[in-house]
Amino acid sequence: MSPTHEAPVPDRETLGLVSDCANCFGLCCVALPFAASADFAVDKAAGTPCRNLREDFRCGVHATLRDTGWRGCTVFDCHGAGQKVSRLTFGGRDWRQSPDTARQMFAVFPVMRQLHELLQYLAESLGRPAARPVHAELRRALEEVDALTRGSAESLAAADVPAIRAEVNALLLRTSELVRAGLPGRRRNHRGADLVGARLKGADLRGANLRGALLIAADLTGADLRSADLIGADLRDARLGGADLTDAIFVTRPQLASARGDGATRLPAGLDRPAHWGPGAV
């Protein structure tokens, strides 16, 4: 019997998961609300354009966001949802020239972003050999979610995102279990744990379950996070200097951008070091 060969795993570019602000109508700067805080300089209601949004849909203070009170913008990633809604769902009709599209466009954007985030996790799972027992289900789920993202604005607005997320999450959890099952030693379970400000310097967290854990301002300097499941973990201001996140599971760019790492932090393949991370220890 000849060996079976799976179809190639679609990459982020093929799935349209790489943000392209030049082809977006500034949707993250309009559709989403934010409150004055350490991350944002002012309050803004959903559907109201940010005061920094220019006529060409670009940010007027992009080069100085972190220094002028807009740190939250630097850790946001729409995972390519902005340009898909702008160019595919609405066919290039922007909300300024076609104001009748605005309400629906702003409602569809966060739905698309959540679906794109799921696509990212599914694609990563398909790229993990240890998850082969669920590859067929993962691929089926990816194809279904991808097809939904290419549908009409009406079908997107009507999508039951919580139900879709629940179905996909079951597969992601199974993927995590399969990946971590082959690791030596005892694996810690900190799922959903409150680890705010925790002193975890040099901790052995290899293969740990940190799904949804609150790691805000935790000291993870030099920690071993290889193959740890970090889906949904809150890493805001977590100290990752010298930490090893090689092959960590379900890490996203916004998570890394919200943390504090350095040149010695080892990252999963395919993830770039945030530009604001310093070269030395934090």
Tens of each residue's pLDDT in the chain, 282 residues: 344 567 788 888 889 999 999 999 999 999 999 999 989 999 999 999 999 999 999 999 999 999 999 999 999 999 999 999 999 999 999 999 999 999 999 999 999 999 999 999 999 999 999 999 999 999 999 999 999 999 999 999 999 999 999 999 999 999 999 999 988 877 899 999 999 999 999 999 999 999 999 999 999 999 999 999 999 999 999 999 999 999 999 999 999 999 999 999 999 988 999 988 977 544
Domains, the chain, with CATH or none: 21-180 (no CATH), 187-282 (2.160.20.80)
Length of the chain: 282
Q: Give the Cα separation of 74 and 126 in Å (integer).
A: 29
What are the beta bridge partners of residue 59? 53
Considering Cα of 235, then 237, then 239, then 242, what sign does the dihedral take?
A: positive
Give residue-wise pLDDT tens across range 38-85. 899 999 999 999 999 999 999 999 999 999 999 999 999 999 999 999
Give the amino acid at 54. Answer: R
Interval 170-202: pLDDT, tens: 999 999 999 999 888 778 999 999 999 999 999
